[in-house]
Amino acid sequence: MENAVPAESKPDENKLIAERREKLRALRAQGIAFPNDFAPDAFAGDLLAEFEGRTAEEVEAAARRVKVSGRMMSRRDTGKLAFVHIQDMTGRIQLFVQVNTVGEETYKPFKTWDIGDIVAAEGTLMRTKTGELSVRVDKLRLLTKSLRPLPDKWHGMADVEQRYRQRYVDLIVTPESRRVFELRSRIVRHIRNLLDSKRFLEVETPMMHVIPGGATARPFVTHHNALDLDLYLRVAPELYLKRLTVGGFERVYEINRNFRNEGVSTRHNPEFTMLELYQAYATYNEIMDITEEMIRTAARDVVGGTALTWEGREIDVGPAFRRWKMEDAVLEHNPQIARADLRDRAKIAAHAEKLGVHVKPGYGWGKIVLEIFEKTVEQTLIQPTFITTHPTEVSPLSRANDRDPEVTDRFELFIGGKEIANGFSELNDPEEQAERFRAQVDAKDSGDDEAMHFDADYIRALEVGLPPTGGLGVGIDRLVMLLADVPSIRDVLLFPYMRPEA
């Protein structure tokens, strides 16, 4: 297995585990293993913030008594005195442990405790001679015996695959991992607050669909035993959210999981988190405005500024995002293609072949232009850019442009050469939508595994009447990658997909 732990290191680890298990057996024999009657009344990070800047005399005068708990991350013993750092959800704080304060009956077993054990301490705050805020401990207990040693404190978890598989250890020993996931939580909270302030209603829609829809993607298939019915894990919540818009919820959003049975890469995971929103009486122009505001304010308010670095590239989400038609972008990056060739299926197919773009027999000019865009343009879009007016052929749920029905009022947002968001003015004509679905069914019959099914109930909902509506999908994982400056989607998923261990 790649990045496997060297065989020669395992016996030493096994020996350490055996020693810890022996200590646990002794605790069980005394009836004091795994107690559950301690509740802390303070957090490390809060105490450090509260007493920052206060002198030793001021801390002493405050006589602040606290109860703290956390995982023991380091210890330094000097005879009858020990300095211990414990870590809780907010940070680390030092324990000042003296035998003449806690008593010999506590200090003696304390000397056998291990790094990784979870401990409880009570005492008063003080500053040591080096100025570090500490708890002068007078009561000390072992709450949880850790049976497995933590990685070496100097090297941490150097094995990247092990970090993903054992995220629980990674979060203990890798401060950067904790920072990323705390940042992710704040970003999602910021998005919710922004949308709530605009009178959007957060909803939840089904994860299991009788008909997969809302995106051109290959679904996962599952089975309901009681009903003897095949179901699909959703590839997108779009069609259900628009049903709600039909029902009168004119501004709705959902932040939840989608599942797509496709490849795994630094940008793709079989399950991922999407924000989808729908706003009645909005066009794709207003939806672009919301998207831009969301990303800019998240960078400013959560990260601390709009000037970002992602994979070594300087990116600024402060200025207005560029809005660029797809055909114009393809022409600028491929000057050998004449504008008249773009919509000539034979000519654009010939250009695609010269560019090494594979063209299937069922592709129309729009699909070929999209393939050329993805090969020659997408990776160059480093600064925030909305690519607009996608071909109708590749946008089965988007409203056709009034002046040019061969393209749609649709955009995709690219930052750092990666797609971050997708949105459009929704197609609300039930008869045209039915025709688009039939075209998708034909494409599926011709071998396109990602083409959509025909959803008769969604057509029925449109026949009730969907108001003019704008919709948006934002990849939360990729947005966090951008704002946290991490290169792989696995770095922003707490438990990314991994092959089973051998």
Q: How far is CA 353 from the centre of its chain?
A: 37
Contacts of 477 (CB under 8 A, 6+ apart): 269, 272, 273, 489, 492, 493
User: Does residue 157 belong to any structural domain of this protein?
Assistant: no
C-alpha 337/C-alpha 351 separation (Å) is 7
Token pair 């056709």: residue: 400
Last residue of a domain, one of 118, 150, 182: 150
**Per-residue pLDDT tens for 168-193?**
999 999 999 999 999 999 999 999 99
Q: How many domains does the chain have?
A: 2
Report if residue 347 sits inside a domain: no
Q: What is the pLDDT of residues 26-40, one digit of tens each?
A: 999 999 999 999 999
Report the pLDDT value the prediction gives residue 5, as an integer from 0 to 100. 41
| End-of-domain residue from the set 97, 116, 150 | 150
What does the pLDDT look like over 297-321, one tens digit per residue? 999 999 999 999 999 999 999 999 9
Domain for residue 453, yes or no? yes
Tokens of 250: 């004119």
In a domain, 457, yes or no: yes
Return the CATH number at 226: 3.30.930.10
Length of the chain: 502
Task: State whether 23 and 119 are in the same domain.
Answer: yes
pLDDT tens-place string over residues 406-420? 999 999 999 999 999
- Residue 166 falls inside a structural domain: no
Count CA within 13 A, CB hemisphere, residue 274. Answer: 29
Domain stops at, among 89, 119, 150: 150
Q: Does residue 160 lie within any of the structural domains?
A: no
Check whether residue 250 and residue 395 sit in a common domain.
Answer: yes
In the prediction, which pLDDT does 264 show? 85
In the numeric block, the tokens 């990685």 are attached to: 151
CA distance 363 to 66: 69
Longest dimension (CA), the chain: 90
**Section 84-102 average pLDDT:** 97
Given a cut of 90, is residue 133 above it in pLDDT? yes
Whether residues 19 and 135 share a domain: the answer is yes
Positive or negative, the CA dihedral 491, 497, 499, 502 is positive
- For 94, the 3-state DSSP assignment is strand
State the helix-helix crossing angle for 345-354 and 365-376, rounded to 10 degrees. 30
β-pairing, 133-144 vs 91-98, is parallel
- Of 250, 187, 258, residue with least CA distance to 217: 258
314 and 183: one domain?
Answer: yes
116 with 197, same domain: the answer is no
Predicted local confidence at residue 1, as pLDDT: 32
Contacts of 412 by beta carbon, 8 Å cutoff, 6+ apart: 386, 387, 390, 419, 421, 422, 423
- Kindly state whether residues 268 and 389 are assigned to the same domain: yes
367 inside domain: no
Please give the DSSP secondary-structure letter assigned to residue 401: P
Same domain for 188 and 144: no
Q: What is the pLDDT of residue 132?
A: 98
Give the domain CATH number at 82: 2.40.50.140
What pLDDT does residue 153 have? 67
- Alpha helix positions (H), 138-174: 160-165, 167-173
Mark residue 116 as left, alpha or beta (left: phi above 0; alpha: psi -120 to 50; beta: remaining): left
Spatial separation of the C-alpha atoms in residues 457 and 433, rounded to whole Å: 12
Mean pLDDT (whole number) for 21-26: 97
Strands 208-209 and 229-233: antiparallel
Calpha distance 105→103 (Å, rounded): 5
Cα distances (angstroms) measured from residue 229 to each of 223, 370, 451, 454? 6, 36, 21, 18
Are residues 211 and 306 located together in one domain of the fold? yes
Please, are residues 317 and 384 in contact by the beta-carbon 8 Å criterion?
Answer: yes
Task: Tell me what pLDDT residue 243 has.
Answer: 97
Q: DSSP letters of 186-229?
A: HHHHHHHHHHHHTT-EE----SEESS--SSS-PPPEEEETTTTE
Residue 6 has pLDDT above 60, yes or no: no
Is the CB of residue 376 less than 8 Å from the CB of residue 330? yes
> H or E stretch including 500?
none
The answer to whether residue 259 scores a pLDDT higher than 80 is yes
Question: Could you read off the pLDDT of 372-421 as tens digits, one per residue?
Answer: 999 999 999 999 999 999 999 999 889 999 999 999 999 999 999 999 99
Question: Is residue 339 included in any domain, yes or no?
Answer: no
Q: What is the C-alpha to C-alpha distance for residues 120 and 135, in angstroms, rounded to an integer?
A: 11
Task: Give the up-direction half-sphere exposure of residue 74: CA atoms within 13 A in the CB hemisphere.
Answer: 10
302 and 413 part of one domain:
yes
Q: Do 77 and 144 share a domain, yes or no?
A: yes
Instruction: Please indicate, yes or no, whether residues 133 and 199 belong to a single structural domain of this protein.
Output: no
Confidence band, pLDDT 50/70/90 cuts, at residue 159: confident
Give residue 395's domain range.
173-321+384-491
SS (H, E, C) 345-399: HHHHHHHHHHCCCCCCCCCCHHHHHHHHHHHHCHHHCCCCEEEECCEHHHCCCEC
**Which has the higher per-residue pLDDT, 397 or 98?**
98
Query: Band of the pLDDT at 3, cuts 50, 70, 90?
Result: very low
Domain match, 54 and 121 both: yes
According to the 3-state scheme, what is the secondary structure of 30-53?
Answer: HCCCCCCCCCCCCCHHHHHHHCCC
